[in-house]
Amino acid sequence: MGQHLVILSSAEAVEDLLLKRGAIYSDRPTLAMQQLSGWEYAYATLRYGERFRATRRLSGRVMNSRASRDYIPMQEQAMRRLLKMLLVTPERFEHHIKSAAGSIVLKLAYDYDTVDDHDPLVDLADRALEIFSVSSKPHWAVNLFPALRYLPHWFPGCGFLGQAAIWKKVVREMYKRPFEMAKKNMQTESGHDSMIAKMLEGDGESPSPDLEELVMLCVGSLYGGVSQTVSAGLSFLLAMTLYPDVQHRAQAEIEAITGGDRLPTYNDRERMPYVDALIQEVHRWNPVLPCGLPHFCSTEDVYRGFRIPSGSTVLANVWHITHDPKIYPEPFAFNPDRYLGDTVGSSVNPDPKGFIFGFSRRECPGRFVADASVWLMVATTLATFNIGMATDENGQPLVPDVKYSSGILRRVRRLHPLSFPCKIVPKSPRAAALVG
C-alpha cells in the first residue's frame, strides 16, 4: 500500500500548492475500479498530460465565459419548465430539479430536448453517474491493490471484474448514444447548435476518428456537472425552509426589480446583490464536494518544512475551509450578509465559489454554465413560490434535519420517500400566472 495522503485544510495551503504550484499538482490519482468501469477518460478523472490539455482546449472553446452567455436564453427556458413542474407537483421537487439540470446539459451538449418524466438519456446518464460515485469508493480491493485487475474474472474474490464489465457497458452507452444522435442531426440544417457540432466543425475540416473520440468523451463528461446544480438546488430549498427571513428579504429584492409583473432574467443579476449573496452562502453552507476531487503530486515537493513525496494524493478540505470561523464567522449559520458587509463593523467574507469549482488547471470547465443555472433557479423560484415547512397530520411543522449523504458527491439525504419535508406554494395567483 504505502500511499501518502496530504490534506490541505487552509485556504493559504490550497493557494500555495494547488494554484501557485499547479504544474505538479494537476494530475489525478488512479482508481482501478473507476477505470475498469469505463470512467478513465472522464474530464474529472483524466490524468494530466496531452490528452487532458486537448480536452481542456475543446471545453474552453465552447464553455468560456463569453460563449456561456449565449446559452442563457435556453437556461431561462429550462427554468420556466421547472417552475411549471413545481406548480403542478411541488412534492416532486427533487425530481424536477434533476430533470431541469439534466435537460440543460443535454440540450447544450447534444441539442437534445428531454421529456419531463423518465427521459431515457437522463436516466442513462444518472445510472452512469451513480457508477462513477460507487466505483470511487475505497472499499473495492482493486482500488487498494490495482494488480488484482489482471486476475481472471473466475478467480475467487474477483467478482468485481464482472460487475465492472457490466458498468462499463452502461458508461460507454452514456457516451456513445447521444453522441451518435447529435452527429446524425448535424446532417440537417438545424443540427449545428450543439457543442458536439461546434467542436467537430471548429476548424472547418472533416474530423478525424481520433477527434471524434476525444469530443465524444469530452462532452459525455459534462453530465457530471448536473450533480453540482442539483445539490445546490436542494440545499437552497432546505435553507429557505429553515431560514424564512432570508427568503423574504431575497423575495423583496426581486420584487423591487421586477415589480412582480415578470420573472427575473439573467440580465437582472447585477441589480440583485442579496440573491447573489444567498447563492454564495448555499455553496458554502454545504459544499457538494466537501473534499474536492483528489489531486496527485507528480514531483516530490517540500512545503513549510514538510516533504510531500511524489505520488502523494492531495485533498483540499473544502468543508473545513468553508467552515473556518476565522474566515467565515459563525460558520454553521446561514447568513448571506457575510458577503455584503451590511452589519456595522463587519467585513466581507470571500466568495466560496473559489473553492467549490476546483483549482487551477483542474477548475471545472462548465462552471459558468452551472453558476448561471443555479442563479436562475434560485431567482425564478423565489419570484413565484413561498418555501416553508411541511406539516404532519396534526398540523405540526416538520422541521427537516440538515443531513447529507456521504461519498464523493454529497446530496441532501432523503428523510422519507419524497425527500426532506418541504412545502412549495405559489406566492399569489398573480405569481402563479407568471409561470404560465
**Amino acid identity for residue 393 in this structure:** E
Rounded Cα distance, 226 and 228, in Å? 5
Rounded Cα distance, 200 and 211, in Å? 7
Cell numbers representing residue 394 in the block: 396534526
Rounded Cα distance, 119 and 97, in Å? 14
Burial class for 380, CB neighbours closer than 10 Å (0-12, 13-18, 19+): buried
Identify the helix (H) or strand (E) that includes residue 409: none
**Amino acid identity for residue 399 in this structure:** V
Q: Please report, for residues 47, 81, 168, 306, 325, the alpha-carbon distance to residue 301 in angstroms, rounded to integers and kept in the order given.
A: 19, 50, 36, 8, 29
* Residue 312 region by backbone torsions, left for phi larger than 0, else alpha for psi between -120 and 50, else beta: beta
DSSP-based helix, strand, coil % in the chain, nearest 5: 55, 5, 40
Rounded Cα distance, 204 and 379, in Å? 40
Reduced to 3 states (helix: H, G, I; strand: E, B; else coil), residue 412 is strand
> Which residue in 112, 85, 71 sits closest to 375, CA to CA?
71
Reduced to 3 states (helix: H, G, I; strand: E, B; else coil), residue 424 is strand
Rounded Cα distance, 37 and 163, in Å? 8
Question: Annotated binding residue at 364?
Answer: yes
Q: Please report, for residues 10, 328, 384, 425, 426, the alpha-carbon distance to residue 432 in angstroms, rounded to integers and kept in the order given.
A: 45, 37, 6, 9, 6
**Amino acid identity for residue 335 in this structure:** N
Reduced to 3 states (helix: H, G, I; strand: E, B; else coil), residue 223 is helix
Binding-site positions read: 364
Binding-site positions for heme read: 364
